[in-house]
Amino acid sequence: MTELRATTIIIGVGNESRGDDGAGTATARLLKSRITSDIAVLEQSGEGTALMDAWRGASRVILIDAVCSGVTPGTIHRVDAAATPLPRSIFPCSTHSFGLADAIEMARALHELPTQVMVYGIEGASFDEGVPLSPAVEIAIRSVADQVQKQVQMADFEDPSSST
Amino acid sequence: MKNRTIKVDYLARVEGEGGLQIKVKGNQVSEVKLRIFEPPRFFEAFLRGRHFSEAPDITARICGICPVAYQMSACHAVEDAFGAKIPAPIRSLRRLLYCGEWIESHALHIYLLHAPDFLGYEDAIRMAKDHPDAVKRGLRLKKTGNAIVNLLGGREIHPINVRVGGFYKIPAKSEFVTMGEELKWARDASLETVRWVATLPIPDFERDYEFVSLRHPDEYPFNEGRIVSNRGTDIAVREYEQHFAEEHVAHSNALHSATKDRNSYFVGPLARYSLNFDRLPSHVQDAARAAGLGAVCRNAFQGIIVRAVETLYACDEALRLIDAFEMPDRPYVDVEPRVGSGFGCTEAPRGSLYHRYRIDERGLISDAKIVPPTSQNLRTIEHDLLDLVPKNLEMQKDRLQWRCEAAVRNYDPCISCATHFLRLEIERD
């Protein structure tokens, strides 16, 4: 169990100056205050090569990012990305900004993807500059933090339900 | 031969939303339209009424891959309006930051966006399964570029450490020295990149372009110089709008640029290289020659080789700048605002980026004009396709479509910048 924890990494992705785009990094900050073990909790912009570097060598990675798929704000999408590619309808790829979904697929092609990859997408309402997190997203952040905390406290976070 | 249409609804491996429609009647191309449906973003209007100091940060948001270019052109334009003089050590650090953006942007385009065209893969992820070492090299190169932007710009995406007059904060010399170690690897890897792209099956397709880029008395251009062309243009940046104009076209949300006599022109790596080959260090020239390039390159498909040569140059120049690093007395110089207009043009990875601002007595921007490289290249891309399609009509439709898409990607177009621009349709009735 200790060995597993030592190779677990949690990465919150986003830009806090763009409203709900900061959901991933806000979740990471909340988790930093709760998780006192040696699990690394990182905040990143979502640039793909930096993500691939961050999870290189880890046996499991948990990623949290804001998404904009058109469903009710605060909805939590959960995808077991070790088993299946991220659905492009929820996590679109942007070519010039080599992002999260591209990084996961590239790492998979290069055999550099950790064995376990869980991605949480928090549906945002507003991605405008300088606006605070939406109330529904604040609630979702706490819920995702609870779920992630529970996962890392278990020796194995494999979950049969791959998506919600 | 019957008439046909080649149609790509949504062009992949370009930034932003656009499509391409080509109509062919017999052996003649009757129409080529790069349709830009990404909505316009009105950045020039956002800038009106904002303080001059906000221009670098607001315009950096136009593009996720070339924010440094926007920051540099904005700073130079504002400083031009105020007659500010930038000390040599700050100027050198601006060049270093620009090296980071060129390495990052060129590595991404070479390995992830353009190489799959020549090797026959739909995308870089499929290519990575067969060419893992090349892709790993490309990703690490990109990361080296990111690291420079991160160090000097404060973060990889939309850097925040650039201000009119210089930088908010300059990292310690030791941090540059540490980065130098990775840059030595990057210089070797970029030379390997030049050799690798030279082996790709690149189509023969030369056109007599009007190349436009900056030219500096001593340097391969990033931030400064006169705007020159191979057809005799040699002007100061402030004369840009007397020689080049933008116009609306019905099928595009991006403006099209042309010379005042309405000719298309070419900005970007091919233009820069062809107008400034003599400004490259001799060992970079040697690498270009060994890869099959002359001092002038008129084949837009060889843009991938030129980008690799420029990546080698950028790594080399970054190492030189780090070696000669001199900590400025202050991270920035104070500027004295005054009423007037300022002009800036710098070399973004995909070509010349022009900014003009008018600033009022309160230091507020009363008028702004931004001309990104992609809008300057749109007409040239359409002209390339008008020439390319008739020469390749014997191709199967899917192969011709592939070739046309690759021809668009020769320009590494950034539609997001230009609307502030791709799907492909080739129609044969």
Question: How far is the C-alpha of B415 from the C-alpha of B393, rounded, in Å?
Answer: 28
Q: How would residue B37 be classed by pLDDT, with cut points 50, 70 and 90?
A: low
For residue A93, is pLDDT > 70? no
Percent of chain B surpassing pLDDT 70: 92
Are B379 and B259 in contact by the 8 Å Cβ rule? The answer is: no
Distinct helix (H) and strand (E) counts, chain B: 15, 14
User: Smallest CA–CA separation between B170 and chain A, in Å?
Assistant: 21
Chain A interface includes B126 (CB < 8 A): yes
Are A123 and A115 in contact by the 8 Å Cβ rule? The answer is: no
pLDDT score for B184: 98
Of residues B395 and B164, more confidence is placed in B164
Question: How far is the C-alpha of B292 from the C-alpha of B122, rounded, in Å?
Answer: 26
Which superfamily is assigned to B4-428 in CATH?
Answer: Cytochrome-c3 Hydrogenase, chain B (1.10.645.10)
pLDDT tens string A15-31: 888 889 999 999 999 99
- CB atoms under 10 Å from CB of B12, counted, come to 16
CATH topology for the A2-15+23-127+134-153 domain:
Rossmann fold (3.40.50)
- CB atoms under 10 Å from CB of B394, counted, come to 8
Q: How would residue A92 be classed by pLDDT, with cut points 50, 70 and 90?
A: low
Give the sheet arrangement for strand B340-348, strand by strand.
B340-348, B351-359, B365-371
Tokens of B49: 């009424």
Select from B352, B356, B349, B407 the least CA-distant residue to B376: B352
Q: What is the mean pLDDT of chain A?
A: 85
Q: What is the mean pLDDT of chain B?
A: 90
Average pLDDT of span B65-91: 95
Please state the φ and ψ torsions of residue B311, each to the nearest 5 degrees.
Answer: -65, -40
In degrees to the nearest 10, what's the CA dihedral of B273, B277, B280, B282? 140
List CB contacts (< 8 A) between A50 and chain B.
143, 146, 156
Mutate to test the interface with B, among A17, A49, A53 (most CBs of B within 10 A): A49
* HSE-up (13 A, CA, CB side) for residue B136: 13
One-character DSSP codes across B367-387: EEEEE-HHHHHHHHHHHHHHH
Q: Pairing relation of β-strands B256-259 and B18-25?
A: unpaired
> Which residue matches tokens 């469903």?
A71
Average pLDDT of span B368-378: 90
Contact B143 A97 (CB under 8 A): no
User: Smallest CA–CA separation between A98 and chain B, in Å?
Assistant: 8
Sequence ranges of the domains in chain B: 4-428
Q: How would residue B250 be classed by pLDDT, with cut points 50, 70 and 90?
A: confident
User: Smallest CA–CA separation between A136 and chain B, in Å?
Assistant: 27
Are A11 and A40 in contact by the 8 Å Cβ rule? The answer is: no
Q: What is the pTM assigned to this prediction? A: 0.90
Can you name the residues that pair with B266 across neighbouring β-strands? B211
For residue A96, is pLDDT > 70? no
For residue B115, is pLDDT > 60? yes
Residues B294, B300, B303: CA angle, nearest 5 degrees: 70
One-character DSSP codes across B167-223: ES----HHHHHHHHHHHHHHHHHHHHHHHHHTTS-PPP-B----BEEEE-SSS--SS
Weakest-pLDDT range from A37-46, A59-68, B200-209: A37-46
List CB contacts (< 8 A) between A105 and chain B.
125
List CB contacts (< 8 A) between A22 and chain B.
none
Weakest-pLDDT range from A16-30, B40-54, B315-329: B40-54
Query: Who among B64, B126, B143 is closest to A97 (CB)?
Result: B64
Chain A interface includes B122 (CB < 8 A): no
For residue A79, is pLDDT > 60? yes
Are B379 and B257 in contact by the 8 Å Cβ rule? The answer is: yes
With CA atoms as reference, the chain B residue closest to A15 would be B157
